[in-house]
Structure 1
Amino acid sequence: MPLTRKAYRAAILHSIADPAEVGIEASYEYFEDGLLVVDNGKISALGHASELLPTLPADLEITQYQDALITAGFIDTHIHLPQTGMVGAYGEQLLDWLNTYTFPCESQFADKAHADEVADIFIKELLRNGTTTALVFGSVHPQSVNSFFEAAQQLDLRMIAGKVMMDRNAPDYLTDTAESSYVESKALIERWHGKGRLHYAVTPRFAPTSTPEQLTLAGQLLTEYPDLYMQTHISENLKEIEWVKELFPERKGYLDVYDHYQLLGERSVFAHGVHLCDAECARLAETGSAISFCPTSNFFLGSGLFNLPMAEKHKLNVGLGTDIGGGTSFSLLQTLNEAYKVMQLQGARLSPFKSLYLATLGGARALRLEDKIGNLQPGTDADFLVLDYNATPLLGYRLKQANNIAETLFVLMTLGDDRTVLQTYAAGNLVHQR
């Protein structure tokens, strides 16, 4: 269907730089009465309504919102599709939680019909929460990725996903082999990578569940297809770190395992990084790798507190992750609520503008997609959301007391959730309406 030019008028806010690098004032643009113009799925103009309106055709369709804020679509840099059905599972820390809940839940994805059903629920949840791009773990079954990409392609979403590679330390019903994981990943790459707005991520679950042979082949895939992504987990839990030391005694530490198998690079995203040291942060930054900060999950599984100031010191790219199902909400607003508390517990501050950066442009930079998504600059994909100031009675009342955009933004991130997202647009198309 042909897309036409449309415009959207409301308060508009987007992130244009990392506050840690340029200071808060230079990190965002805010238009109290703004106008966003979309042409054929891309943003063609952004500015004050009073300045832009005279330059546009008189018959242009303009959607106007009262008591609402337009911002860039949220970017979730770490989430598990197959764990949708076990969110909020009680009472375990990471390793026991995997065996008790995660692996049995993921085994259901051997069935394509089940994978199709969950992919549909999963994408609807993302869009309902304003997430327009996600870096997604499938299960070990190729059909989990096929189902997800089929559903994402129908809506022209920018999504990244991969089949889990896992050939040891997991139940027999859920392991592949080094060779089969390579062959199946390669087939998925050939089918999906670069198709529309879809990208593939090589996905070893984490070092303990891959043999050296499998990690070697994961690295080989990255050399065969230079613009692939790589996603895995690192330093989430102290027992996990000890386990990695036992399994790879010849390596200097957890990160060095991945480094040895050539899995660090500009499109490599490591989830959690709660217990990284200075030297590991420096190495990640040096290789252009990124960390996905998953505060909700780190609280829920008792893993620890991510040291964002240390990452900032090393100029390490950091995005935000919900980590469904270790995390308990698809909402990046709720995730930012938890991120604020993580900083508070470490005696550090998280400004609302840094939060906005983490949920949008920071995630785009972590994924090397900042020229396409992450803010509302002309030329970027028209992935954006409309946040409703009156989504709940309490939110509406509280925002009437807000004196400036910083306070408004902080209240949205503290009291907001899926109900706050009035509409979600992807490539200029309305893909969610509350």
Structure 2
Amino acid sequence: MERFIISSETVLPISSPPIIKGSVFVDKGKIEDVGSTEELLRKYRDIKRIDLGRGILLPGFINAHVHLELGCITKKIKRSGGFGLWLGQVIKALREERTEEEIEASVRDGINELIESGVTTVGEISSFGLDRYPLKESGLRIVLFVELFDRHKDFWNLFGFEKNEVFEERPFPHAPYSCSPEFLKTVIDFSRKNHIPIGIHLAESREEVKFIRGEKNVFEAKIFPMVGREVFQRSKAPSPFGYLKALGFFNETKVTAVHMVHISKEEASEIPDYSIGVVMCPRSNLFLGVGLPPVLQYRGYERIGIGTDGLSSNLNLNIFEELRSFYLLFSKRLGQRASFLTVYLATLGGARALFLEDRIGSIEKGKEADLIFLKPRHTFSDPYLSVISSCKEDLKLVMVRGREIHSKPR
């Protein structure tokens, strides 16, 4: 990998204030220095320089939760009827015969959409394993969450859970309503023993809350009979978070919890006591009519990111549109720092939610050179607002570990 200095009118390190006329020195895929262009050109002579000119250089976006394999069923899903009806449609659509080639094609289409909206890291939920090789070939940085149910209980821990510089596999028990407490405990024990972080869908819908409380719910009434699943015994709890807490799910392990919509103020205050990364998916939540994440309750919490979810519950995988929607929904509540906090979710916040902050998420010495460059058509005095107002046409460069994986004329 080559050494170079990459310069831009504006650099947004995220972990520190914006730099006007800034540069980043990259060596062997890692960031060696960041500062003013004048300073870096004086310190490092006779090194290749890439001058991007007017625009914004910032860390690559992190789409912390997506289901690429479900892109093939998008046309089968109607946008109405609530969470239970939606889940039933997904199950029915997945039962219809389709080839591996069709699923892989939808995965590749999704990968292209991610890259074209500035994503350099993806938290992918792998249901069938047909996303693994297309993702490995993509140039992206990948956290591949292997989706697990009780039916996998006799062999799931035989999976290798590969890990290298840009590809990492982690267990992902689907949800508290679809995995028995015994199976959840097995996954927790495996995670602790092998020091592998895990993920789970948590507190997404009111139906999940009803299930945990032992009230009438759509899972036991309709979904379980549909899939031939018997009702499993479990302890009642006031909430999904409380249920997993009682199981010891959060003890001595790292958990990426996705959605986290139905969380009380008291529960939100307990999250910092554990290693929990929160991933919000606001457009998916709106699509399914399950409510919105309580962002004010998470204010000040650093391990919080954003994801588009899959095309079965969203209109597209465009992270620009996800950020813009978040900003429009919550900017008044978040106040003066709303624009920074919005961009933070898709950069350093996402890295922290996936427990990758030692490697990515900000532009600082020692981190991987996962970078994107934007040339916004609509600019503001607030550079973070310029990022939020951007679209994929404004994206001119995408780098992972200092290697260009997407570019357009600047």
Q: Which amino acid aligns with 1:277?
A: S
1:215 aligns with 2:184: yes
Q: Which of 89, 99, 112 does residue 88 from structure 2 map onto?
A: 99
Please report how far the alpha carbon of residue 114 of structure 1 lies from its aligned counterpart in structure 2 after TM superposition. Answer: 4.1
Residues 369 and 260 of structure 1: CA distance in aligned 2, closer, same or farther (over 3 Å) = same
Please state if 1:253 is matched with 2:232: no
| 1:72 aligned onto 2:59 | yes
The residue that corresponds to 1:184 in the other structure is: 156
Paired with 1:348 and 1:302, the residues of 2 have a C-alpha distance of 25
Structure 2 segments unaligned to the other structure (5+ residues): 215-231
1:410 has 2:385 as partner: yes
- Match for residue 222 of structure 2? none
Q: Show the 5 A alignment for 1:167-206.
A: 167=150, 176-179=151-154, 183-189=155-161, 192=162, 194-206=163-175
Percent identity at matched positions? 20
What is the aligned counterpart of 1:161 among 144, 148, 152?
144
- Which ranges of 4 or more aligned residues in structure 1 deviate by more than 6 Å? none
Q: Give matches, 1:201-280, under 5 Å.
A: 201-226=170-195, 228-246=196-214, 248-264=234-250, 267-280=254-267
* Alpha-carbon separation, structure 2, partners of 1:316 and 1:376: 17
Query: Offset of 1:155 from its aligned partner?
Result: 4.8
- In the superposition, the TM-score normalised over structure 1's length comes to 0.81
Say which SS state the counterpart of residue 364 (structure 1) adopts.
helix
Distance 1:238 1:75 in 2: 28
Report what 1:380 is aligned to: 367
8 A Cα contact 1:319 1:362, kept in partner: yes
1:5 — aligned with what?
3
Aligned ranges 1:27-426 → 2 under 5 Å: 28-58=16-46, 60-87=47-74, 89-92=77-80, 93-100=82-89, 102-107=90-95, 112-139=100-127, 141=128, 143-144=129-130, 147-148=131-132, 150-155=133-138, 157-167=140-150, 176-179=151-154, 183-189=155-161, 192=162, 194-226=163-195, 228-246=196-214, 248-264=234-250, 267-312=254-299, 315=301, 317-325=303-311, 326-344=313-331, 351-389=338-376, 396=377, 398-399=378-379, 402=380, 404=381, 406=382, 408-414=383-389, 416-426=390-400
Q: Is the 8 A contact 1:281 1:316 kept in 2?
A: no
Counterpart residue type for residue 130 of structure 1: G
What is the distance in 1 between the residues matched to 2:94 and 2:168? 22
Deviations 1:70-101 (A, max 9, x none): 1001112211122223458432322211211x
Q: Answer with 263-272 or 366-375: which moved more.
A: 263-272
CA distance 1:410–1:421, change in 2 (3 Å) = same
The Cα shift of 1:285 comes to: 1.9
- Does the CA contact (< 8 Å) of 1:284 and 1:316 recur in 2? no
CA contact (8 A) 1:80 1:324 kept: yes
Matched positions, count: 386
Aligned letter for 2:143? I
CA contact (8 A) 2:118 2:398 kept: yes
Match of 1:173 in 2: none
Could you report, residue by residue, the CA deviation over 1:319-352 in whole angstroms, capped at 9, with x for unpaired residues? 1111122233322221121112332575866621
The alpha-carbon deviation at position 112 of structure 1 amounts to: 4.3
* Contact in 1 for aligned 2:59/2:363 (Cα 8 Å): yes
Q: Please list the CA deviations of residues 108-149 of structure 1 after superposition, one character each: whole Å capped at 9, or x if unmatched.
A: 79854444433322322221111111211111x3x23xx42x
Give me the whole-angstrom Cα distance separating, in 1, the residues matched to 2:189 and 2:240. Answer: 20
CA change 1:233–1:71 in 2 (3 A) is same
What is the identity, as a one-letter code, of the residue corresponding to 2:309? D
Extract unaligned runs of 5+ from structure 1. 18-27, 168-175, 390-395
Q: Going by fraction, where is helix more abundant, 1 or 2?
A: 1
* Matched residue, 1:21: none
Tell me how far apart the structure 2 counterparts of residues 214 and 267 of structure 1 sit (CA, whole Å): 17
Distance apart, 1:256 and its partner CA: 2.7
Deviation per CA, 1:164-220, whole angstroms, max 9, x where unpaired?
1124xxxxxxxx3432xxx2353141xx2x223222221111111112332222222
Check conservation: 1:138, 1:163, Cα contact below 8 A.
Answer: yes
Rounded to whole Å, the distance in 2 between the matches of 1:317 and 1:56 is 35
Question: Secondary structure of 1:352's partner?
Answer: helix
Q: TM-score, normalised by structure 2?
A: 0.86
The residue matched to 1:66 in structure 2 has which SS? coil
CA shift for structure 1 position 252: 4.0
Cα gap change, 1:292 to 1:349, in 2 (>3 Å): farther
Query: Whole-Å Cα distance in 1 between the matches of residues 334 and 14 of structure 2?
Result: 27
